[in-house]
Amino acid sequence: MHSDTGRRSALALLAGAAALAALPAAALTDGQARGLVDKVVGDINSIINSGRSEQAMYGDFEKLFRRYGDVPIIARTALGPDARSATSQQLSAFADAFAVYLSRKYGRRFREFIGGRIEVEGTRKVRDYYEVVSNTVLKGQAPFEVVFRVSDKSGRDLFFDIVIEGISLLKTERTEIGAMLDKRRGDLDALIRDLRA
């Protein structure tokens, strides 16, 4: 009798724990989204004003991109429909090569910010993610907007797109990666090799 009661209590406890585990995690908040971008912007400002060589800065941008960016999602989105026919090994290799490619490409862009600064202005909720709006101030130029799109869909707070002066990194890269793949007649392995070069 006591063993049945104990067993039922244990089962009820396990069932309750399972139900709690099945509940969705707390949704991303504007404070968390802003906190992530505050870190990103702080690191970008440190890199662009570090006085390090261009090559060293590219390495720093790659680390930043891998730390705060949702690289698998960004890479898969940039690959577009071709991602559906890629193997898991190809997707992983492409994401890795894409991180190197992006850090060089946007590292060059952020290098133009030397002597300037990026300041986080605010956040706004858009469907199931947040846009964190920042203002970029460069010497001798009018300030312009850089928007970081932040989500927690991958289980961590990460940015999945950056919009610079109204131009989405994701949309731009999807077009460019598509053109690169067309040039290589759909050979994803060749594209991966070239992105790493």
pLDDT one digit per residue (tens) for the chain, 197 residues = 444 443 333 323 233 323 223 333 347 898 999 999 999 989 988 888 888 888 888 899 999 999 999 999 999 999 999 999 999 999 999 999 999 998 888 777 776 777 778 889 999 999 999 999 999 888 788 888 999 999 999 999 999 999 988 999 999 999 999 999 999 999 999 999 999 88
Question: Which fold is adopted by the domain 28-196?
Answer: Nuclear Transport Factor 2; Chain: A, (3.10.450)
The 10s digit of each residue's pLDDT in 114-155 is: 777 888 999 999 999 999 999 988 878 888 899 999 999 999
State pTM to two decimals. Answer: 0.79
Q: In this predicted structure, what is the pLDDT of residue 104?
A: 86
Distance CA 67, CA 88 (A): 21
Domain coordinates in residue numbering, the chain: 28-196
Distance CA 7, CA 188 (A): 56
The 10s digit of each residue's pLDDT in 123-134 is: 999 999 999 999
